[in-house]
């Protein structure tokens, strides 16, 4: 069962008083009395000052005398058990005299059941002081204590420039050392505008110029005109003239059985050179 404090008990007594005033003959009062007695038994610390507060509250309340007597007897029985270690600590260090964090740690310590739960580790104080603050600091856990200050970061070394001086920098330094007059802001502005206009003109010229890589494609070349085959009348005249030579004999001047025929209507060549020329023209046309 959870532990109860003195303030909780006083609030329970006030609630019982309100219920008794609204409904004096209620059956709820005896049950609340039994519950309050069990809570008193679970209370760990009842100091003399708290006992006086509780008794004053019971005397001023409008509860029935029977309930007052039973509650006062329970409080006396609880206080007669004696003051132990946690009660002694509460009497010495009251929460009103301590900081908020230390008071919370002390309340947690006093709420523990010393026999059933693990006891907190008592920290040894570095100094031999016996003041109240040192005693409470020893009862606090290691997590509650402030952590040690971290060592300050060492300053970084200044960056060193290993770049060697260029001839341009030397020339600039020499110009400054000679005592040449420095330019005004208007001159710098005019120079910047001129350089900007030159850049724009160059970029515009590059856009308007035709790239050198993009050459014009050559147009279609005219095909050589092939010689038309002679008509039948002309072919007969060639036979009469003794011109022989066809595709079969490849323009042989002596001819063959095909071109000897006077009724042959195919191509006739007067020489082998004429047949070669015709062959090249056909290959070029393909």
Contact 267, 248 (CB under 8 A): no
The residue among 82, 97, 121 that closes a domain is: 82
Residue 251 falls within a domain, yes or no? yes
pLDDT below 70 — which residues of the chain?
Answer: 1-4, 43-45, 80-103, 106, 111-181, 204-220, 222-242, 286
91 and 49 in a common domain: no
Q: Are residues 98 and 75 in the same domain?
A: no
Domain finish residue from 66, 82, 98? 82
Domain presence at residue 160: no
Same domain, 109 and 77: no
Q: Is residue 209 part of a domain?
A: no
Q: Which pLDDT value is given to residue 266?
A: 81
Dihedral angle at the C-alpha atoms of 97, 101, 102, 107, nearest 10 degrees?
A: 100
**Tokens coding 36:** 């309050």
Number of domains in the chain: 3
Q: Is residue 166 part of a domain?
A: no
120 shares its domain with 58: no
Instruction: Check residue 246 and give its pLDDT.
Output: 86
CA-to-CA distance for 181 and 71, rounded, in angstroms? Answer: 104
Same domain, 63 and 102: no
109 and 50 together in one domain: no
pLDDT digits (tens, 9 = 90+) for 220-233: 676 655 554 555 44
Both 14 and 78 in a single domain?
Answer: yes
Q: Does residue 61 belong to any structural domain of this protein?
A: yes
Residues 93 and 78 in one domain: no
Quick: pLDDT tens for 34-71. 777 777 777 666 777 777 777 888 777 777 787 878 87
CA distance 188 to 210: 35
198 in any annotated domain: no
Same domain, 77 and 91: no
Q: Does a structural domain hold residue 246?
A: yes
**What pLDDT sits at residue 192?**
92
Look up the domain containing 253 and give its range: 232-285
CB 109 within 8 A of CB 138: no
CA distance 70 to 37: 8
Of 139, 155, 179, which marks where a domain is finished?
Answer: 139
pLDDT for res 178? 55
Q: Is 25 part of any domain?
A: yes
């Amino acid at each position: 069962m959870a532990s109860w404090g003195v303030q909780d008990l006083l609030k329970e007594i006030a609630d019982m008083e309100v219920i008794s005033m609204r409904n004096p003959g209620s059956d709820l009062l005896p049950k609340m009395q039994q519950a309050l007695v069990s809570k008193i038994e679970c209370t760990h610390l009842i100091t003399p000052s708290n006992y006086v507060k509780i008794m004053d509250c019971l005397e001023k309340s409008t509860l029935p005398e029977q309930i007052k007597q039973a509650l006062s007897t329970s409080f006396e029985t609880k206080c007669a058990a004696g003051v132990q270690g946690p009660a002694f600590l509460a009497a010495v260090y009251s929460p009103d005299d301590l900081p908020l964090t230390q008071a919370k740690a002390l309340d947690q310590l006093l709420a523990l059941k010393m026999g059933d739960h693990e006891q907190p580790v008592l920290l040894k104080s570095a100094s031999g002081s016996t003041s109240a603050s040192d005693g409470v600091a020893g009862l606090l856990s290691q997590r509650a204590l402030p952590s040690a200050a971290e060592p300050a970061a060492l300053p970084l070394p200044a960056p060193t420039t290993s770049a060697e001086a260029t001839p341009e920098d030397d020339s600039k330094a020499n110009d400054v050392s000679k005592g040449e007059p420095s330019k005004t802001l208007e001159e710098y502005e005019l120079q910047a505008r001129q350089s900007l206009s030159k850049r724009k003109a160059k970029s515009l010229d590059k856009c308007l110029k035709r790239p050198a890589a993009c050459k014009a494609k050559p147009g279609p070349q005219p095909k050589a005109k092939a010689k038309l085959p002679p008509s039948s009348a002309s072919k007969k005249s060639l036979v009469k003239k003794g011109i022989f030579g066809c595709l079969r004999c490849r323009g042989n001047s002596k001819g063959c059985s095909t071109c000897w025929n006077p009724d042959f209507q195919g191509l006739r060549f007067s020489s082998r050179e004429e047949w070669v020329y015709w062959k090249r023209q056909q290959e070029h046309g393909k």
